[in-house]
């Protein structure tokens, strides 16, 4: 570990293989919390690179026991969090809309960390299990087009890092990599990042991790979701090329709303908002989901344009298909043993 620490402290970047070696060392029985802390702090002070993120993610994903059989064209739409917007659960609601449009969504998420209510909190309130086994996940992805992967459940090996991160109480490389650690072999991915300066690094990391196509977005008002408040900054990964674009809601036929109009609350309130959207209630919540789900449908390649994706998202909701995906997931959850996480 010392050789890697010295290199990072001296301002030098680690290669993918060096980062993998340093990360693997952190999983050894004889590693100390001080060594893990030193690595995380040194990387944060230097500034992480796409190679370092890719190396860390590859090791973390390799430690998970939730690798399923190949799931064609699977996507995730998890954001990094951290925008302090207190918005409702946009990506979680959008995931059911994408699934209702016929896309396979491996929804990775956690309890609340930087927001009032995380994806796990709102789904648990709705009756979705946080204890799906690998076989359950695979069955739901195939039969229902959507499953939920609760991060602490699918990444149990990360406990040494979790303890250190909690004790540090400081931002680390882990604040950026959450969405990248989904153990399912994703073909495409939509990631929201609240800091615009992180867009190129996350996009480059997705390229190194082998995504066929991906979109990374920072929403207007520094949200980690696409926003109706103004211009959104995106980087599109396609055919190995990274293309930055700007997207205003009016360009795709959607109205402008302030970010204050999509605030959420506790798990009960956010569950009610989610259900109201899936039942077709019009307004700021509904249109925000259309934008984000439409962007996800476009990212997956089912729609040729973002506007076409939005039209498919609207059809998914108004036909009842999106709500049906949630209801099936809740029904399946009621038939399996539950554990508390």
Determine if residue 32 is labeled as part of a ligand binding site: no
Determine if residue 261 is labeled as part of a ligand binding site: no
Determine if residue 113 is labeled as part of a ligand binding site: yes
Cα–Cα distances in angstroms (integers) from residue 188 to residues 71, 81, 129, 171, 210, in the given order: 12, 20, 25, 27, 9
Determine if residue 225 is labeled as part of a ligand binding site: yes
Is there a contact between 307 and 294 (Cβ–Cβ < 8 Å)? yes
CA distance 128 to 330: 5
Determine if residue 79 is labeled as part of a ligand binding site: yes
Determine if residue 92 is labeled as part of a ligand binding site: yes
Determine if residue 245 is labeled as part of a ligand binding site: no
CA distance 212 to 219: 23
Determine if residue 248 is labeled as part of a ligand binding site: no
Give me the helices (H) in the chain, please.
2-9, 16-26, 33-46, 50-63, 90-100, 119-126, 134-143, 151-154, 159-168, 174-177, 199-208, 267-278, 284-300, 306-318, 321-333
**Which residues does 171 contact at the CB level (< 8 Å), separation at least 6?**
44
Is there a contact between 87 and 263 (Cβ–Cβ < 8 Å)? yes
Determine if residue 94 is labeled as part of a ligand binding site: no
Give the strand order in the sheet containing 213-218: 146-150, 105-109, 75-76, 188-192, 213-218, 232-238, 241-247
Strand bridging mode 241-247 / 146-150: unpaired
* Residue 236 bridge partners (DSSP): 215, 243
Determine if residue 333 is labeled as part of a ligand binding site: no
Residue 109: what are its φ and ψ, rounded to 5°? -170, 180
* Residue 76 bridge partners (DSSP): 189
Determine if residue 9 is labeled as part of a ligand binding site: no
Strand bridging mode 188-192 / 241-247: unpaired
Determine if residue 165 is labeled as part of a ligand binding site: yes
Q: Using alpha carbons, select from 239, 189, 241 the residue that is nearest to residue 214.
A: 189
Cα–Cα distances in angstroms (integers) from residue 271 to residues 58, 126, 306, in the given order: 33, 7, 27
Determine if residue 224 is labeled as part of a ligand binding site: yes
In this structure, how many other beta carbons lie within 10 angstroms of the beta carbon of residue 68? 19
Determine if residue 283 is labeled as part of a ligand binding site: no
Determine if residue 91 is labeled as part of a ligand binding site: yes
Enumerate the known binding-site residues for 5-phospho-alpha-D-ribose 1-diphosphate.
79, 82-83, 87, 89-92, 107-115, 119
Enumerate the known binding-site residues for Mg(2+).
91, 224-225
Enumerate the known binding-site residues for anthranilate.
79, 110, 165
Enumerate the known binding-site residues.
79, 82-83, 87, 89-92, 107-115, 119, 165, 224-225
């Amino acid at each position: 570990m010392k050789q890697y620490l010295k290199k990072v402290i001296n301002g030098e970047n680690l290669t993918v293989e060096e980062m993998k070696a340093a990360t693997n060392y952190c999983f050894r029985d004889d590693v100390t919390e001080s060594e893990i802390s030193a690595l995380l702090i040194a990387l944060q002070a230097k500034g992480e690179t796409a190679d370092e993120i890719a190396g860390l993610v590859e090791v973390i994903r390799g430690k998970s026991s939730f690798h399923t059989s190949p799931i064609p064209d699977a996507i995730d739409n998890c954001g990094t969090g951290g925008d302090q917007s207190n918005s409702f659960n946009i990506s979680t609601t959008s995931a059911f809309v994408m699934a209702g449009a016929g896309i396979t969504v491996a929804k990775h998420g956690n309890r609340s960390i930087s927001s009032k209510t995380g994806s796990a909190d709102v789904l648990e309130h709705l009756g979705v299990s946080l204890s799906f086994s690998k076989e359950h996940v695979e069955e739901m992805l195939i039969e229902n087009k959507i499953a939920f992967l609760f991060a602490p459940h699918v990444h149990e090996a990360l406990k040494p890092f979790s303890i250190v991160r909690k004790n540090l109480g400081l931002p680390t490389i882990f604040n950026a990599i959450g969405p990248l650690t989904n153990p399912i072999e994703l073909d495409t991915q939509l990631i929201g990042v609240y800091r615009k300066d992180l867009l190129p690094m996350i996009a480059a990391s997705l390229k190194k991790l082998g995504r066929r196509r991906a979109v990374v977005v920072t929403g207007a008002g520094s949200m980690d979701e696409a926003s109706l408040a103004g211009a959104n900054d995106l980087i599109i990964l396609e055919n190995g090329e990274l293309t930055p674009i700007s997207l205003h809601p009016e360009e795709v036929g959607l109205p402008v709303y302030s970010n204050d109009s999509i605030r959420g609350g506790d798990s009960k309130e956010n569950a009610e908002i989610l259900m109201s959207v899936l039942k077709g209630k019009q307004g700021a919540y509904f249109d925000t989901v259309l934008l984000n789900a439409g962007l996800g449908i476009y990212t997956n390649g089912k729609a040729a344009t973002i506007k076409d994706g939005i039209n498919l998202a609207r059809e998914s909701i108004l036909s009842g298909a999106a709500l049906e995906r949630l209801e099936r997931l809740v029904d399946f959850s009621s038939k399996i043993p539950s554990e508390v996480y």
